[in-house]
Amino acid sequence: MKSHHVILTGNTLTIKDIINVARNYYTVSISEEAKEEINKSRAYVDNLVDNDEVVYGITTGFGEFSKVKISKEDSKELQKNLIISHACGVGNPFKEEVVRAMMLLRVNALCKGFSGIRLSTIETLVNMLNKKVTPMVPEKGSLGASGDLAPLSHMVLPMLGYGEAYFDNVLMNGKKAMELAGIEVIELTSKEGLALINGTQAMTAVGSLTAYDAMNLLKLADISASLTMEALSGITCAFSPKLHEIRPHSGQVRTAANMLKLLEGSERVTKQGEKRVQDAYSLRCIPQIHGASKDALEYVLGKIEIEINSVTDNPIIVHEDDRAISGGNFHGQPMALSFDFLGIAIAEIANVSERRIERLVNPQLNDLPAFLTKKGGLNSGFMIAQYSAAALVSENKVLAHPASVDSIPSSANQEDHVSMGTIAARKASEIYFNAKKVIAIELLAAAQGVDLSNEGKKLAKSTQKAYDLIRKHAKFIEDDVVMYELFEEISKLIDSNEIVNSVEEILGKL
């Protein structure tokens, strides 16, 4: 039996590990090698404090207050005050999976041994993950520059007996949640508060979960587009390998190959000149449009893989060189740009899907009954389903405006450029939610279009599988029904990955 456990080294965490811990409640532990590095780094910090060295955040205040010297006696008070004063989040709480991912990412960064934190403090976070104590973390309030200071401070509050946390799915006082889980609250010492909150873990948690879900959605977009092609007798010549070999963008080439695999054996698609010479762009340019988003996602995934195994706090403790370096690894700009790109890439998948929905419902653009209903006038069919998709893609256009081009100075202009990376990640997550609904509507509309084309011709083997799964959750619409319930059913089907998994069982990886 496969172990439901992840060993953290600081260097080997994967996006799949994040999903398993955040959503599937895998337990975690720290490798022996990482423990050794953590202890060496801590010993170096203790030495700095004992020798009364002036080092930012260890024997000084923070931000503009870095000019203020802090005594050894006040170091514990300094770290506690850092957490309680920086817990300034507002808005709705992050989902449990986001906070669990945030905790995991922070532990993994600390495991690299450059942060000067005690092993026992990191193990408190590990115990919280393993015993399912989840801090309540408001989703707004981070500039994403000195790291995600506000969200990560809320993450730390229950460790100190403050704030709020969920235990057994009940929100309660943080101290009580720790007591019920049998975890002792702690007192921070020198450098520890800063080590826990100076980092990009909130934005990276949200972005990692969204990017992982986008991988499935992009595959599903190829499947939904294939069903639409069959409903509309689409022309497959536009997916010919030679056409894409001479413009060899990776995502474009892969998508064209996917479309041919997905539609192999279909009796419903056509060749150039059989019914018409060429299709509209939303069908003909599927490889170019979907492929560009796939290439964007590949870029973002590469950045995430770097970030989740990086040190993002300050100062950096390099004990072997006898140095504590004050730098800017906490700055979220690499992820801010990436998550803005992620949001744009997902938004475009929804944009082209909505155009395909329009081609399915508009009788001026196809040979199907108007709005995919047999009794037009008495029934509205998919008329307002397309409205809903149009509203979602229009909202996405607003959300896709990049957060990373904005900046506002803080901390008396000491922190004079900020990334807004957490806003970028949150926007990408909202765009994904909207895009998923649009793809759900296309799947429903395409299945309805297939039924209404009534040609008695076979679907491809893979699209037949997708069609059967859709029909398992949503029957053919003879007369008007409550549509939003069907949207929710197909959205849950998308979340389950069942369509993609079933198709990949036939075709291999898309």
The span from the CA of 471 to the CA of 463, in Å, is: 12
CA Rg, the chain, in Å?
26
Cis, peptide link before residue 315, omega less than 30° from 0: yes
d(CA 252, CA 285): 9
Q: Is the dihedral of CA 12, 426, 335, 419 positive or negative?
A: negative
Rounded to whole angstroms, the Cα distance separating 372 from 441 reads 13
On whether the CB atoms of residues 20 and 26 are closer than 8 A, the answer is yes
Whether 370 contacts 376, CB under 8 Å: yes
Task: Give the active site residue among 25, 26, 44, 56.
Answer: 56
Report DSSP state, residue 263.
H
The structure tokens listed for 216 are 């499935």
Give the 3-state DSSP-derived string for 121-185, with helices as H, strands as E and coil as C: HHHHHHHHHHCCCEECCEEECCCCECECHHHHHHHHHHHHCCCEEEECCEEEEHHHHHHHHCCCC
Q: Is 56 a catalytic residue?
A: yes
Estimate to the nearest angstrom the gap between the alpha carbon of 95 and the chain centroid.
12
Residue 40 to residue 34: CA distance in whole angstroms? 10
Q: Which residues pair with 171 in a beta bridge?
A: 166
Contact 271, 236 (CB under 8 A): yes
Where are the extended beta strands (E) located within 264-329? Answer: 316-318, 323-325
Distance CA 125, CA 158 (A): 10
Cα–Cα dist 189/45, whole Å: 10
> Which residue type occupies 77?
E
* Strands 170-173 and 138-140, sheet pairing: unpaired
Residues forming a β-bridge with 58: none
> Helix 461-473 crosses helix 498-507 at what angle (to 10 degrees)?
160
Other Cβ atoms within 10 Å of 16 Cβ, number: 10
CA–CA separation, 436 and 346 (whole Å): 9
CB atoms within 10 A of CB 391: 15
- Residues with a known catalytic role: 56
